[in-house]
Amino acid sequence: MPTMFDASVPTTTRALKNLIHVLEKGAAHAEAKKIEPAVLVNSRLYPDMFPLVKQVQIASDIAKIGIARIAAAEPPKWEDNEATFADLIERAKKTIAYLETLKPEQFDDGSRTVTFPVQGQPTTAPASRYLYARVLPNVFFHCTTTYNILRHNGVELGKIDFLGPIDK
């Protein structure tokens, strides 16, 4: 079984790098098709869902805040003021840069618990359960939804864009 560090930092870093690739393809599509990029950045799959911009912000927040909780670290705080593809790509890069500051020794593979909000109520769980049941599924959900919004709007994306290359 991977360590908590191995299961969290490399996994979310990879997801965010692939998200950057997807966002770059979205920006290129907007430019090639002469679509105002704000149209795609503010696009949704359904009226009651968050727009693409918020999907990226949430993926970033879940990655940095969730993994910081597991590492008993203090995550950076950023305003949610991104408005362009370049802004969103930069946010994902900042998140990756933060995650890369975390060290394996900060992660307790034993008995650490974390407290986090669930529907406004504090909930405490073992760090491993929090990682596998909340952090990773949420990061992938919001990365997938970003992919789906762009794909729905005609950006030529395939499964390999989401998965990325296999690391050696």
Per-residue pLDDT tens digits of the chain, which is 168 residues long = 789 999 999 999 999 999 999 999 999 999 999 999 999 999 999 999 999 999 999 999 999 999 999 999 999 999 999 999 999 999 999 999 999 999 999 998 778 999 999 899 999 999 999 999 999 999 999 999 999 999 999 999 999 999 998 875
Amino acid at 21: H
4-108+118-154 fold:
Four Helix Bundle (Hemerythrin (Met), subunit A) (1.20.120)
User: 141: which 2 tokens?
Assistant: 């959900």
- 116-136 burial: b if 16+ Cβ within 10 Å, else e: eeeeeeeeeeebbebbeebbb
Element (H, E) at 75: none
The model carries a pTM of 0.95
